[in-house]
Amino acid sequence: MKQIHLIAPSGASLDPLSPLAGIEWLKQQGLEVLNTDCVKRVEQRFAGSDADRLTEINQLANLLPEIAVVAMRGGYGLHRLLPNIEWDAIAKAIQNGLQICGHSDFTAFQLGILAKTGAITLAGPMLNFDFACQGEQGKGVTPNAFMWDHFQEAIKERKLDCTISAPQPYLRKLSTGQCSGILWGGNLTVLSGLVGTPYFPNSQQTQGGILFIEDVNEHPYRIERMLMQLLDAGILSNQGAILLGGFSAYRLYENDRGYALESAIEAISKRLPENIPVLTGLPFGHQVEKLTLPVGAQAHIQYDAEGFTIHSQW
């Protein structure tokens, strides 16, 4: 990996310093950063007009295969573009070697191209937060080493290997086990908003799969409501395993009276078939420490009450 091509398919940057800091840090790692002007675009809350952002996405089909594509940030905006994305052309570029990475709102693109073509993309770091970490008063902070190591492993070796040591309270009668299947998922809000559309992978594609989810700024009852939707739609019970990443930046209220995220997960777990493990602690989401996960690739997990391992090669 010698070049990173930036895209800004969703929200405009919330401040002018983050993308510049991210670009500078990537250059310090010896990388050439392409298409940097995209970080300056602003159209209402979006990183440019719909036409600008759509053109930028469709031009991915013309990139050299050795280039890694990284989204600037999430927010909202990709859902507007889905009907006019040239899925087959971009999938062909991916088949030839192009790798495309992002998370949050980028889930819409990742699930769309998986549903339409089966192409593999990377759920992982983005420019503004992950490569432009800032502390108090905007002071630069070195990007997380765990994130950077796993991003490079994914880009250079097309491999995922990680052991997660964390107690697993939702195994129910399962004490240990393993599962192999397609790794898929992303941001829960975006994912649930695609159910019933042509941009959501079908049950044949995801049967026995390993579904990973995360979210930010969503109260646990909203998390539960979206999971109930996936449960009642038959999506959760179609999986081999469910991996929960970070659910961050929400706050509980006095009238919750003890209701918390654990309550929501427990309610879902009780309604699932007992042979489907719900595993927690996946380092992924709106957090500094995150894996780079191959959306659409075959993966294997082994788990017990003390944690789990996840492996994929694509």
Residues assigned a catalytic role: 104, 214, 286
Backbone CA torsion sign across 313, 179, 144, 14 = positive
Q: Which two tokens stand for residue 155?
A: 């880009």
In this structure, are residues 155 and 34 in contact, taking their beta carbons and an 8 Å threshold?
A: no
Q: What is the DSSP code (8-state) at residue 142?
A: P
Q: Which residue has the tokens 């670009």?
A: 23
Q: What is the DSSP code (8-state) at residue 256?
A: G
User: What radius of gyration do the chain's Cα atoms show?
Assistant: 19
Burial of 205 (0-12, 13-18, 19+ CB in 10 A): middle
- Give the span between the Cα atoms of 287 and 182, in whole angstroms: 24
- Give the span between the Cα atoms of 211 and 231, in whole angstroms: 12
In this structure, are residues 140 and 134 in contact, taking their beta carbons and an 8 Å threshold?
A: yes
In this structure, are residues 83 and 52 in contact, taking their beta carbons and an 8 Å threshold?
A: no
- Give the span between the Cα atoms of 95 and 65, in whole angstroms: 9
* 3-state percent helix, strand, coil for the chain, nearest multiple of 5: 40, 25, 35
Going from the C-alpha of 300 to that of each of 12, 159, 161, 236, the distances in angstroms are 37, 12, 10, 18
- Give the span between the Cα atoms of 75 and 285, in whole angstroms: 13
- Give the span between the Cα atoms of 38 and 52, in whole angstroms: 9
